[in-house]
Structure 1
Amino acid sequence: MKSSLEQLLEQAEEVLAPQPPYLDPWVQRHAGNRLGELEDLYLRKNGWLAFNRALRVFSASRSPDDLNLNRWNDPRLWRDTYGDLAEGVLFFADDIFGGQFCIKDSKIYAFDPETAALEWLADDLEGWATVILDDSDYWTGRPLGAAWQEKNGVLEPTQRLIPTLLFTLQGEYTVDNLTAKDAVTGMQIRGPIAQEIHGLPDGTRIRFVITD
């Protein structure tokens, strides 16, 4: 019987990097007890897109130009816009909206880009794959991503769909409330907002003042 990771890998529609994987020392350190699992995953397929490009597992390469695992976790790329809310977290995949899947303290979490809230998903990558397969539409955003691409064209591997009105601020999960943006830009936009609203109780009234 195939493992959940093997079944998830079979869903890959496009492999992102043909070369052997490279995990830099920072990534290796923050992978913790999941390092062996992560290395095995990348040896099988080095980064990939699945579920109509709704799930993206970052490739692991040495290239400074690719949007790969090592570069994605560079504090200067977008993480610094979240302050210490992204501290100690290794981001390895995301959904169609840029919602992150990550490793922290050797466990697997979902990271909400709008609030920086962490939600425990599993203790290892096999458990994470099981969660994704059990409800891939929910965890990847595939239905809305497929509808948006049918109307507007296929997303580039470096793009995610960002809500015009944030979901946290009662933005609707509709095609009309989504726009394709570079994934880095999408995180940079939401990082400062996450710092402002992280940990606030549901229903808290929020007022943003936009200045030049």
Structure 2
Amino acid sequence: MKGILYTGGELTDLLSFARLPSYLQAFLREQNGVVAYFGGLHIRGCVSAPAWHALAEAWQGENAFWRTYDTVLETDVPFAQDSVGNQFLLRGDAVLFLDTETGELADLEVDFKHFLFGAEKFPVDALGLDLLRDFQRRGGVLAPGQLLSVSPPVCIHTASEKPQLAARPAADRLQWLASFYRQIKDLPDGQRIRFRPTE
């Protein structure tokens, strides 16, 4: 992996670790999670702290994704996220992509090993790095524990040319995305809405 900003320390959450498939355990034994591609990919680790890096927090915590998103199962493992807070989940051996604005879930038709391979070979496409690159061109930097705020949200079609991009603490960004999803999830496609940025 390129552009590594952070690697997790010692395995301290052995309860979560024991519930993981063997291939993910093998990866986490080598490096207990990582923030790579200059913030474009965050693979969570089995740690008790920091909370933003803890797999257990995203998987079973108070704000676990299955508690918010109708398409996510309690058994889905939210092992990673992209720069804007979209999630990569393991369901069995399949890697799924959760759009955290809309709650739409897509099967990427790859396993964990091929997900990593795709991210390594084609990071811009596999990880949707266009917004992060735009943010970096404007002088922005994502630190470990931060995600990219996008205003207006990507799912909203607007006449404006460029979205406003800013680095936010990961917990704040994910909480905002969950709130946004709850507000729009029952609206029909093409519904006109008035958007007031609050992030």
TM-score by length of 2: 0.80
Aligned equivalents of 2:194 and 2:92: distance in 1? 34
Q: CA deviation at 1:146?
A: 3.1
Question: Which residue type is aligned with residue 40 of structure 2?
Answer: A
> Which residue number in structure 1 is paired with residue 65 of structure 2?
79
Q: After superposition, give the CA deviation of every residue in 1:142-180 in whole Å (9 maximum; x if it has no partner).
A: 343133134344212111112111111125897642222
State the one-letter code of the partner of 1:46: N
Distance in 2 (alpha carbons) for counterparts of 1:135 and 1:199: 34
Identity of aligned pairs, percent? 19
**Conserved 8 A contact 1:144-1:175:** no
Q: Pick from 15, 20, 41 the counterpart of residue 24 of structure 1.
A: 15
Q: Which has the higher contact order (CA 8 A, sep 6+)?
A: 1
1:138 aligned to 2:125? Answer: yes
Count of residues paired in the alignment:
195
Aligned to 1:91: 78
* Structure-2 change in CA distance of 1:56 and 1:173 (3 Å): farther
What is residue 181 of structure 1 aligned with on the other side?
Answer: 168
Task: Identify if the C-alpha distance between structure 1 residues 161 and 66 changes in structure 2 by more than 3 Å, giving closer, same or farther.
Answer: closer
Q: Measured at CA, do residues 63 and 170 of structure 1 come closer, stay the same or move farther in structure 2, by a change above 3 Å?
A: same
Instruction: Mark the CA change 1:51 to 1:72 in structure 2 (over 3 Å): closer, same or farther.
Output: same
Q: Which runs of 5+ in 2 are unaligned?
A: none
Unaligned runs of 5+ in 1: 1-9
Moved segments of 4+, more than 6 Å: 172-175
Match of 2:143 in 1: 156
Spell out the pairing of 1:38-53 with structure 2 (5 A cutoff).
38-53=24-39
TM-score by length of 1: 0.75
Counterpart of 1:204?
190
Supply the RMSD in Å over aligned alpha carbons.
3.1
Alpha-carbon distance in structure 2 between the residues aligned to 1:130 and 1:123: 10
Match of 2:2 among 8, 11, 30: 11
Cα deviation, residue 76, structure 1: 1.0
Q: Which residue of 1 aligns with 2:115?
A: 128
Distance 1:61 1:175, change over 3 A: farther
Q: Shift of the alpha carbon at 1:44?
A: 1.4
Question: In the alignment, what sits opposite 2:154?
Answer: 167
